[in-house]
Amino acid sequence: MGSINILIGANGAGKSNFISLFTFLRQLSDGKLQSYVERNGFANTFFHFGAKKTPKIMLELDIGNNGYHVEFLHGETNDALVFDNEYCTFTGSSKLFKVKGKLGESGLRPDAEADSGYVKKYTREYMQKCRVYHFHDTSPTAGFKQAQKLSSSFALLSDASNLAPFLRFLKIHHHTSYEEIVSAIQTVTPFFHDFYLEPQGEKGDESVLLRWIHREHEYPFSANQLSDGTARFICMATLFLQPLWSKPSTIVLDEPELGLHPAALDVLAEIIKTVSKTTQVICSTQSVAFANQFAPEDFIVVDQNSGASTFKRLETNALEHWLEDYGMGDIWTKNLIGGRPEW
């Protein structure tokens, strides 16, 4: 994985499945794996074509000098994931540092047994700093369009439901980052002037509603008076342009292009390129306009062959002739790099 990782491929190739792995790992490191599995159809659905077809799931990660390995079996009596083997590794040692959890949860939890607390700590910290975000819901009932507690401002949540209190926190304590977010939104939406983020309620129990000011009007508008594309771009601008201290080490997004105008995609791509100097970005896309903004080495092409997903990096040298006249999105649609449906 590089600093920018754009997954491109046909529907059903395995892009979203790969993205969901990071949610799985986060739940595992939080000690919430059992409830996550239950909410997503119980354990049998996690095995490829079911546990009768696939008897074991194995995950192996290399994270800098550290590594993590886990194997799961299917618990037939309660349709749960059963830890069969779990350990961490360190490049300076050939030892397998065993970790052992309790009650069906991972040994990465702080209170679990481990051969080396230090090795476990570094592995878990990566998973804690790797976050998956989904800003698909822009309906009137979306979380970020509802009043949120002012105290919910420490970190942007995965669905941006605490967007208003988080933006207010940045406006007060990290004004430079706040101004960068507002400036990016104004680039895409010229009529946008600023946010209106005044708390309401009793002291100590205030809530704040996401509202904004039109550059030609004095009174604030509600978030419901934003287009879906504008609302999503506001979420993404806040995510990528927040201060480095609050930003995840790895940002994972599924199809960030949804609802965005091509001009907004150009701005988003430039933001991602800048942010990738300090933060790893992983996202999937099916947008030609968005893909055209990136270099060949930024892509991972996803194909499905006989029910199995394959992932491959691209090399610039092999595409130099085509890149003289076409962007990567155009080259993808011409079926020159794979990632197209099986006919």
Q: What is the pLDDT of residue 306?
A: 82
Asked whether the predicted pLDDT for residue 99 surpasses 80, the reply is yes
- Band of the pLDDT at 342, cuts 50, 70, 90? low
User: What's the pLDDT at 63?
Assistant: 86
* Distances from the Cα of 305 to the Cα of 10, 12, 112, 189, angstroms: 12, 11, 40, 42
Q: What is the pLDDT of residue 205?
A: 87
Mean pLDDT of 58-67: 92
In this prediction, residue 307 carries a pLDDT of 82
Phi-psi region of 181 (alpha: psi -120 to 50; beta: other; left: phi over 0): alpha
- Report the distance separating Cα 45 and Cα 75, nearest Å: 12
Has residue 179 got a pLDDT over 60?
Answer: yes
pLDDT band at 315 (very low <50, low <70, confident <90, very high): confident
pLDDT at 284: 95
Q: What are the pLDDT digits (tens) for 229-270? A: 999 999 999 999 999 999 999 999 999 999 999 999 999 999
pLDDT of res. 343: 54
If pLDDT is split at 50, 70 and 90, which confidence band does 341 have? confident
Neighbours of 80 (CB within 10 A): 18
Encode pLDDT of 30-56 as tens digits: 999 999 999 999 999 999 999 999 999
Q: Is 226 within 8 Å of 211 (Cβ atoms)?
A: no
Q: Tell me the pLDDT band of 224, cut-offs 50, 70 and 90.
A: very high
Contacts of 117 (CB under 8 A, 6+ apart): none
Rounded-to-5 percentages of helix, strand, coil across the chain: 35, 25, 40
CA neighbor of 155 nearest in space, from 33, 40, 243: 243
In the predicted model, what is the mean pLDDT of residues 57-68? 93
What's the pLDDT score for residue 176? 96
Q: What's the one-letter identity of residue 129?
A: K
- In the chain, the DSSP E strands lie at 4-9, 57-63, 66-75, 80-90, 97-100, 113-114, 130-133, 148-149, 192-196, 207-208, 211-214, 221-222, 250-254, 280-285, 299-305, 308-313
Q: What is the mean pLDDT of residues 14-18?
A: 92
Return the higher-pLDDT residue of 168 and 126: 168
pLDDT at 188: 95
Domains of the chain in sequence order: 1-30+250-343 (3.40.50), 38-129 (no CATH), 138-247 (no CATH)
Mean pLDDT of the chain: 93
pLDDT for residue 340 is more than 70: yes
Tell me the C-alpha distance between 8 and 332, whole Å: 8
pLDDT at residue 36, rounded to an integer: 95
Nearest-angstrom CA–CA distance, 67 and 97: 10
pLDDT band at 62 (very low <50, low <70, confident <90, very high): very high
Using one digit for the tens of pLDDT, what is the confidence trace for 265-311?
A: 999 999 999 999 999 999 999 999 999 999 999 999 999 888 889 99
Residue 120, pLDDT above cutoff 60: yes
What is the C-alpha separation between 166 and 144, in angstroms, rounded?
A: 11
